[in-house]
Amino acid sequence: MALDASFVGRSWPARTYRVGAEKIREFATAVGATDPVHVDAAAARAAGHADVVAPPTFPVVFTWEATREVVDDPALGLDFTRVVHRDQSFEVHRPVVAGDVLTTVVSVAEIKELAGNDVVTFRCDVTDPDGESVLVTSATLVGRAGEGA
């Protein structure tokens, strides 16, 4: 089933996330980020940061939650049981640190069909309480075509 192209350009209500030091530590351990600034507040402060610093891919923790709201919308038409993750990018404007309160707005950047597969690209704009951009993520998912496609 083709995806609903009317989703392109639409944005969904903002979601707010408070970044916790322990969440950063857990994520850093899970991905093997060994720099002390990710787990030790004193090391982070010595490096000029207010608190522990999230690894660059940490924002997937909260941006995926916002994206999932769109992915799960039946009107989009994406069969998540057939989805593979094709691409992910992070445009970081400043490091994410413990204590940040970040707001994510997700939008659908592109929908296309490729070799019978549904391809959808999501964009997440993440800002701080002053509205300053902290980062932008882009994620592309592929809904694989069925057996007879």
Which pLDDT score is estimated for 148?
57
Which pLDDT score is estimated for 78?
93
* The residue to which tokens 């982070």 are assigned: 44
Question: Nearest to residue 140, comparing CAs of 54, 69, 67?
Answer: 67
Question: Nearest to residue 56, comparing CAs of 149, 141, 134?
Answer: 134
Torsion of CA 65, 9, 127, 143, to 10 degrees: 30
Q: How would you class 148 by CB atoms within 10 Å of its CB: exposed for 0-12, middle for 13-18, buried for 19 or more?
A: exposed
Which pLDDT score is estimated for 149?
52
Cα 53 off chain centre by: 17
The span from the CA of 99 to the CA of 77, in Å, is: 37
Which pLDDT score is estimated for 2?
87
Print pLDDT tens along the chain (149 aa).
589 999 999 999 999 999 999 999 999 999 999 999 999 999 999 999 999 999 999 999 999 999 999 999 999 999 999 999 999 999 999 999 999 999 999 999 999 999 999 999 999 999 999 999 999 999 999 999 876 55
Tokens at 85, concatenated: 């993750």
Which pLDDT score is estimated for 113?
94
